[in-house]
Amino acid sequence: MKDVVLIAGDGIGSEITDSVTKILDKAGAEINWVERSAGLGAHEESGNPIPADTIEAIDEHRVVLKGPLTTPVGSGFRSVNVALRQKFELFSNIRPARTLPNIDSPFKNVDMVIFRENTQGLYIGKEQWIDDDTKTHAEGIAVVTEEASKKIITAAFEYALANDRKKVTLVHKANILKLTSGLFLDIGREVAKNYPDVEFEDLIVDNMAMQMVMRPERFDIVVTTNLFGDILSDLASGLVGGLGVTGAANIGDDAAMFEAVHGSAPDIAGQNKANPLALLFSSVMLLEHINQKQIAENIRKAIYKTLVEKKVYCTPDIGGEGTTSTFTQAVCDNI
């Protein structure tokens, strides 16, 4: 039995985490949920959007399943999600995007996994006003290091080997950003030499964006820096139906957090309308991470079968006529 910290989150978080835990229980997942809080609800209750007991639980158990969080205004955090990733050094953000049955999209046969470096680049938040009086000139600093670049690129190649993937595409802007993006590209070329059985290519980010909406089926594993990865991973989700149907993982050397990356949708909270697919796919990634792979595959097959029947069971945002409850029950029945 694996202890996993469960953070329901805000808005629709409690509804979709309830759905996911019911499905995992039905599938026989060997997980003991350690429930903790974070986000706006935690801030309103305790004055802290990341309470100490939540940090302590993650420190102890090292694996988290997290629903959507709302960062409280004026709490001192740029983002609760970013704070958790930085606190536990979750350097690898992994975002699969796969074509799903019966989900409306003009794109077919998409099956890519984006690896985004999660700790550096422009997202370190080093910004300053050059003129404090007029505030007409601002600067931001991007940091790229050899160590962090090697870790994320190696993780992408190792994933390719472990999952019988054939190609890694490194995305950069080294033609303009010759030091930061140039370093990332240089490290990528060096790491690729250690994986002769995996095809390697590099693409400039603007060309990559164009290619993704012209021929997305040509991409397999994609690895890139923080800002580019943030943008391209959302684009990839859009190719297969949006953020509501794609999971995400944040992996470090000794800790992992699996999450729904969509918003907390307070406008539909408590109405039994929330689509749990994103968090459910994230939980499938969690099961694979803790070596319960057959259970993960059983759930994935049940999801696909339910999507084929979606008009009856699925939520309206993905073309169905059902509710959170009917979707949950259908997946459970299909396991």
Q: What is the 3-state secondary structure (H, E, C) of the chain?
A: CEEEEEECCCCCHHHHHHHHHHHHHHHCCCEEEEEECCCHHHHHHHCCCCCHHHHHHHHHHCEEEECCCCCCCCCCCCCHHHHHHHHCCCCEEEEEEECCCCCCCCCCCCEEEEEEECCCEEEEEEEEECCCCCCCCEEEEEECCHHHHHHHHHHHHHHHHHCCCCEEEEEECCCCCCCHHHHHHHHHHHHHCCCCCCEEEEEEHHHHHHHHHHCHHHCCEEEECHHHHHHHHHHHHHHHCCHHHCCEEEECCCCEEEECCCCCCHHHCCCCCCCCHHHHHHHHHHHHHCCCHHHHHHHHHHHHHHHHCHHHHCCHHHCCCCCHHHHHHHHHHHC
- Does residue 217 sit in the same domain as residue 154? yes
Tally of domains in the chain: 2
As annotated, the active-site residues are 123, 173, 206, 230
Residue 333 — very low, low, confident or very high, per pLDDT cuts 50/70/90? very high
172-231 pLDDT, tens digit each: 999 999 999 999 999 999 999 999 999 999 999 999 999 999 999 999 999 999 999 999
Tell whether 212 and 88 lie within a shared domain.
no
Q: Is 98 part of any domain?
A: no
- Select from 219, 240, 261 the last residue of a domain: 240
For 295, phi then psi, to 5°, come to -65, -40
**192 in a structural domain:** yes
Note the pLDDT of residue 160.
97
Q: For 93, left (φ over 0), alpha (ψ -120 to 50), or beta? A: beta
pLDDT given at position 79: 78
Distant-in-sequence, close-in-space partners of 87: CB < 8 Å, separation ≥ 6 = 55
Same domain? 57 vs 42: yes
Q: Name every residue whose Cβ is closer than 8 Å to that of residue 214 and which is 6 or more positions away in sequence.
A: none
Boundary of a domain, candidates 178, 212, 240: 240
Same domain, 230 and 263: no
Mean pLDDT over each residue of the chain, to the nearest integer: 94
Residue 285: name the closest of 114, 57, 65, 100 by CA. Answer: 65
Give the pLDDT score at 110: 97
What integer is the mean pLDDT of 304-316? 91
Tell me, yes or no, whether 115 and 210 share the same domain: yes
Q: Tell me, yes or no, whether 230 and 111 share the same domain.
A: yes
CATH number at residue 205: 3.40.718.10
155, 169: one domain: yes
Is 75 a residue whose pLDDT tops 70? no
Confidence check: pLDDT of 57 > 90: yes
Single out the residue in 240, 258, 275 at which a domain terminates.
240
pLDDT in tens, 76-125: 666 788 889 889 999 999 999 999 999 988 998 999 999 999 999 888 87
Q: Based on the fold, state whether residues 139 and 213 are members of the same structural domain.
A: yes
Q: Specify the amino acid at residue 127.
A: E
pLDDT score, position 126: 84
> In this structure, is residue 136 part of a structural domain?
yes
| Angle 12-17-23 from CA coordinates, rounded to 5° | 135
Q: How far is CA 106 from CA 30, 109, 214, in A?
A: 38, 10, 11
Pairing of strands 2-7, 63-66: parallel
Do 110 and 231 belong to one domain? yes
State whether 209 and 256 are in the same domain: no
Q: Answer yes or no: is 287 within a domain.
A: yes
99 within a domain of the structure (yes/no):
no
Q: 115 with 234, same domain?
A: yes
pLDDT of residue 104: 86
* pLDDT for position 46: 87
- What pLDDT is recorded for position 311? 81
Question: Are residue 190 and residue 254 in the same domain, yes or no?
Answer: no
Full residue range of the structural domain in which residue 122 is found: 105-240
- Give the separation between CA 194 and CA 201, rounded to whole angstroms: 14
d(CA 59, CA 233): 28
Q: Considering the domain boundaries, does residue 100 fall inside one?
A: no
Q: Tokens for 255?
A: 């800790």
Q: Is 299 inside a domain boundary? A: yes
CB 220 within 8 A of CB 96: no
Would you say residue 260 has pLDDT above 70? Answer: yes
Does pLDDT of 26 surpass 90?
yes
